[in-house]
Amino acid sequence: MKKKCIFLDRDGTINVYKRLLHNKNELVLEEKAAEAIKMVNNSDYLCIVVSNQPVVARNLCTLEEALKINEFLRELLYEKNGAYLDDIFICPHHPDSGYPEENKKYKINCNCRKPRTGMIEEAVSRYNIDLSESYIIGDTTIDIMTGINAGLKTILVNTGLAGMDKNYDVEADNVVKNLFEAVKLVIER
């Protein structure tokens, strides 16, 4: 039986946006983010994070350190409200190369970097997700474009970059104040 999923961006959606976050001590939850995720946990939706993490390719941290930041996020969510994430997928790659400090191993043009759908496809394969019944919630036009590319319903939150990145000329299906309001909208449908 296929499952429904709410895919979440991380930076600017779950946690307060900090450009190129690469230290777990800089991670602070957005207001009511843990409550929002707990609401997903109490529903029939999976809660999966899909996040571009170019800090690895830029050599600001190792892949292991990036994964530790995600573990710290899990700890914060659980401590705050008993909330949990069903999974976290990250893309450590970045397509632009030529910088002296970069980690060349991760400077590739991959299929997993949003707005491409590699992370979502992997989640679909692993968890048998029905994309037509699923959502993506994020703070950038990149997240919204990812949702469009994957056939998801899209919600833009007015936290983080609040769609002001202007990378893509797209409109979300819904625009709301924050993650809590986004999840409430989904659950109440």
Considering the candidates 9, 86, 139, 143, report the single residue annotated as catalytic.
9
Picking from 124, 121, 98, 103, the residue whose alpha carbon sits closest to that of residue 111 is: 121
Which pTM value belongs to this model? 0.96
Would the pLDDT of 99 be above 90? no
**9 annotated active-site:** yes
**86 annotated active-site:** no
Backbone angles phi, psi at 186, to 5 degrees: -65, -50
Backbone angles phi, psi at 89, to 5 degrees: -115, 135
- pLDDT, one tens digit per residue, over 46-96 is 999 999 999 999 999 999 999 999 999 999 999 988 999 999 999 999 988
Mean pLDDT of all residues in 87-106:
90
48 close to 138: Cβ distance less than 8 angstroms: no
Return the axis-axis angle of helices 179-188 and 33-41, rounded to nearest 10°. Answer: 20
